[in-house]
Chain A
């Protein structure tokens, strides 16, 4: 492999992986609090559409990011309301959010389809290359999230809620409130993940443009063992799979893109089997209330 090829793949991986990383981090926070969100794909779509619409309307991509973040947060809070406030089944609620995302994003994005927007500008902040702001902020975001989860009082309480809400309650924490906060933060990150697609990668809005990335992110959270730092590695790996496939295709190589896209899912499944075999589940014990338990 020549250096330009490797560099192209790396650069492409980083670009592809960024939206995945934000989405993964968003899902991770929620799952640490014990709530699994199958509708992450929907949140990303809402973020992508809202971001694109706001940018097209206001001419400012940073405003678009803000709009996407808010829209994502709103979506997650809707999930929060039915799951926390009303005790609804998390899987059904997640799927409802998924459908909601498909529908709402189409409704929001449709008037702006085909519009030309000034996407996020690429900034050459270091000699590693010229990437947009969200890429530069991705790694710091993961680090910050790690500190938040593992080195703050809020993070400790959050993890306690995700493991055993009864014990957290006995310790004087409020599980419901913490879960809402986690979902809000998660939705914010998920929306940003979607915005990166429409404002930096594709610079357009199309129905269903997330193409399953939300579900890959859900798998990534498991792959990363609910740890933001591993999520960076995972997003890079999964981003690389996509990038490699694109670059190979561009060079006329005959590798089926479909087989490559399968790899993340099969890899995650293999890892899960291995965990099951070695009885090493790192999942928060109260996640989804029996979502990940095997007993």
Chain B
């Protein structure tokens, strides 16, 4: 209804967005400018790269689809950070949770190769969720029991998860096909998330958008969202008011881990088709930064994930057309982050 829409557009949240978008755009442009200077200093041609990227991404349906493919894991890992952040928890373990989700989903794929897709895929999704959830459950329990702060426990577990994955692909799950480059056997067709439109856009994108939408709705419309915000705002008072703080800590960490795990499942099922060692180029950390830049808002996460995906494309173009290693694009992301960090913010939102 138009009247509700008009009111919604004048709500504090909407005004915040309307204020933020031009600002974010300015920051993004400034970052690209500084990055361009750095590239020029290294003897490369940034403007050619930017132009090529824009042409590829916006002038080409496949190029645009690749953008969405890149965005997909970021949507999930960002929610995995934003959700616990509402409670005041800091989850930097998205990497590890993603790997464990991928691992358990692979177990499902390799263990039940004869199931039809409509059974296998939900099974793998559930396993992926479970893998990540378990990996985040331990830090959640430790935090609820006031033993260990979740920031450090999730950080430490981040490095254990890829080692577990490596152990399996060098060992029990080692594929006989490729002796030089260890990886798991390829998944059966039924274990692959379907893609659409002849591109690589896969069902994982739906997972991501659905999670994001759910996150936004739960936080703003439900009593769980309010209680979570209460805990994040003042855990002691919430406890006294009868809110089960420990229960929320455990449940939310597990759910967040599960969401990151689903991202792992999607990567391994849709993109890779097998379990490989270098599954994530830092999606977990990027998710943290996306959520942080977005201030925890669902719309912000969508926008920031898009931006990071765009930057990521720049990196690919640089590698393909000018032989610059992809890793250099981390510099672009860092520049943008430092610009944002360098602004004195009057009120702190999110993490």
Contacts and interface: CB of A to CB of B under 8 A. Distances in A.
A binds B: yes
Interface of A: 38, 78, 81-82, 86-89, 91-93, 95-100, 102-104, 106-107, 110, 207-208, 212, 215-216, 218-219, 222, 256, 258-259, 261-262, 265-266, 268-269, 272-273, 276-277, 288, 291-295
B148 A86 contact: no
Nearest to B35: A103
Interface of B: 38, 42, 90, 92, 142-143, 145-149, 151-153, 155-160, 163-164, 166-167, 170-171, 282, 285, 288-289, 292, 324-325, 327-335, 337-338, 341-345, 348, 351
Among B164, B282, B328, max chain A CB count under 10 A is at B328
A273 B148 contact: yes
B331 A100 contact: yes
Contact of A259 (B151, B163, B292): B163
A269 B156 contact: yes
A262 B163 contact: yes
B347 to A, nearest CB: 12
Given A219-B156, A276-B148, A258 B167 contact: yes
B163 A92 contact: no
A269 B149 contact: no
A250 B158 CA distance: 28
A200 B275 CA distance: 34
11 contacts: A82-B341, A93-B337, A99-B285, A99-B334, A100-B335, A102-B327, A103-B327, A106-B325, A218-B155, A261-B163, A262-B160
Main secondary structure of the interface of B (DSSP, over half): helix
B147 A277 contact: yes
Contacts of A82: 338, 341-342
Contacts of A261: 163
Contacts of B146: 276, 294-295
A256 B174 CA distance: 13
Contact of B342 (A81, A102, A277): A81
Contacts of B329: 103
Contact of B334 (A103, A212, A216): A103
A268 B155 CA distance: 11
B351 A89 contact: yes
Nearest to A212: B159
B351 A99 contact: no
B165 to A, nearest CB: 9
Given A96-B337, A215-B159, A258-B164, A103 B148 contact: no
Given A256-B171, A268-B156, A272-B152, A96 B338 contact: yes
B170 A89 contact: no
A82 B167 CA distance: 39
Nearest to B331: A103
Given A208-B327, A269-B157, A292 B152 contact: yes
B167 A78 contact: no
A92 B337 contact: yes
Nearest to A272: B148
Contacts of A93: 337, 341
B331 A107 contact: yes
Nearest to B285: A95
Report the 4 A-B pairs with minimum CB-CB distance, sorted nearest first: A103-B331, A276-B147, A100-B334, A103-B330
Contacts of B155: 38, 215, 218
A81 B338 CA distance: 10
Contacts of B330: 99-100, 102-103, 106
B5 to A, nearest CB: 34
Contact of B344 (A87, A103, A104, A207): A87
Contact of B285 (A81, A98, A107, A293): A98
A95 B170 CA distance: 30
Given A91-B90, A99-B330, A99-B334, A86 B142 contact: no
A89 B292 contact: yes
Contacts of B341: 82, 86, 88-89, 92-93, 96
Nearest to A109: B325
Given A96-B341, A103-B334, A273-B142, A265 B157 contact: yes
B151 A78 contact: no
Nearest to B169: A258
Given A86-B344, A294-B146, A104 B159 contact: no
A182 to B, nearest CB: 19
B151 A91 contact: yes
B167 A86 contact: no
A130 B161 CA distance: 37
Given A96-B338, A100-B331, A256-B170, A265 B156 contact: yes
Nearest to A293: B149
Nearest to B350: A89
B148 A294 contact: yes
Contacts of A88: 341-342
B289 A95 contact: yes
Contacts of A292: 149, 151-152
B159 A265 contact: yes
Contacts of A104: 331, 334
A220 to B, nearest CB: 11
A106 B38 CA distance: 12
Nearest to A104: B331
Contacts of B149: 291-294
B288 A95 contact: yes
B142 A99 contact: no
Given A82-B342, A89-B351, A95-B289, A103 B328 contact: yes
A288 B151 CA distance: 11
Contacts of B285: 95, 98-99
A110 B327 CA distance: 11
Nearest to B39: A107
Given A89-B292, A258-B164, A258-B170, A294 B147 contact: yes
A28 B147 CA distance: 22
